[in-house]
Amino acid sequence: MNEIYSFHKELNIKKIIFVIVLALCIIIISSIIIIKILFAKPEEKIPDSYNTFTDKNNSIILTLPEKYGLYQVTPENNRSLQLKSNKNLGIFVSCENLLSNRKLFDIVSADIDTYTKEFNDVSNISDLGQFTINDSLGYTYSFNYLDSQTNVTYYLQVIWIEINDRYYIIDFEFPSEDLNDYTDIINETLDNLKINIDN
C-alpha cells in the first residue's frame, strides 16, 4: 500500500512541477509579447518618390508619384502638357483664354455635348460637378467610351478650372477596368498642380 501511495505522491509532484513550469512559460512568453507590443517602434512609412513635369513655358507644373509610371511626351492637339504611362494612363493639360461674356458652367456644359461626340460608343456620361480649388472655380464630368481599334472601354474624366484670365482643362484617360487603381490620381493631380500666372 505504501508503494501505491508513494507512486501517487511522485505522480502528483510531477504534475505540480509540470503545471508550474507550464505556467511560468506562459507568463514569460506573455510578458515578452506585451513588452514588444508596448515598446515597438511604429513602422516608418517610406515616402513616395515624385516626378515633376512642366510645360515648355514652365507655367504649368505638375508633381505626381512615380508609382504611376508616367512620362512626358510631346503635346498634341494644342495641349500644353501631355503625360502617358505604359499602362494606358494618360493625363492631358490644356489652356485656353477666358471668355469674358460667358460663365464657366455654360462653357463646360457645351463641352460635354461637343467632346463626347468625338468618341464612339459613349456611355455613363456623368452630371456636371462643381468644386473649388485654391479659391478657383472648377467643373468636372466623366464618361466611358469604346476604343474601336483595341476594343477596350476607357474612362475619361475632364476637369475645367478657371484661374485669373485662363481656363485650364485636365483630361484623365485610362481603361475603365483600372478605375480602382487610379482613383487617387485625380485628387493627387489637383493637389500638386501649380500654375505660374506670371509666365
Overall pTM > 0.75: no
Q: Phi and psi of 115, rounded to 5°?
A: -70, -40
Do 8 and 77 belong together in one domain? no
Q: Could you tell me whether strands 193-195 and 60-65 are parallel, antiparallel, or unpaired per DSSP bridges?
A: antiparallel
Do 153 and 188 belong together in one domain? yes
pLDDT for the residue numbered 11 = 55
Does residue 6 lie in a domain region? yes
Rounded to whole angstroms, the Cα distance separating 21 from 16 reads: 9
Contacting residues for 53 by C-beta, under 8 A, at least 6 apart = 61, 62, 63, 64, 70, 72, 81, 83
Low-confidence residues of the chain: pLDDT under 50: none
pLDDT for the residue numbered 83 = 94
pLDDT for the residue numbered 103 = 92
Does residue 91 lie in a domain region? yes
Do 20 and 54 belong together in one domain? no
Do 82 and 134 belong together in one domain? yes
141: Cα within 13 Å, side-chain hemisphere:
18
Do 90 and 175 belong together in one domain? yes
pLDDT for the residue numbered 158 = 95
Sign of CA dihedral 3, 8, 13, 18: positive
Q: Could you tell me whether strands 90-97 and 129-133 are parallel, antiparallel, or unpaired per DSSP bridges?
A: unpaired
Do 68 and 155 belong together in one domain? yes
Rounded to whole angstroms, the Cα distance separating 113 from 115 reads: 6
Do 33 and 62 belong together in one domain? no
Inter-CA distances, 81 with 55, 134, 149, Å: 5, 21, 25
Does residue 45 lie in a domain region? no
Do 107 and 136 belong together in one domain? yes
pLDDT for the residue numbered 199 = 54
Do 106 and 170 belong together in one domain? yes
pLDDT for the residue numbered 198 = 65
Q: Domain tally for the chain?
A: 2
Inter-CA distances, 147 with 1, 150, 173, 175, 177, Å: 95, 6, 12, 10, 13
Domain containing residue 83: 50-195
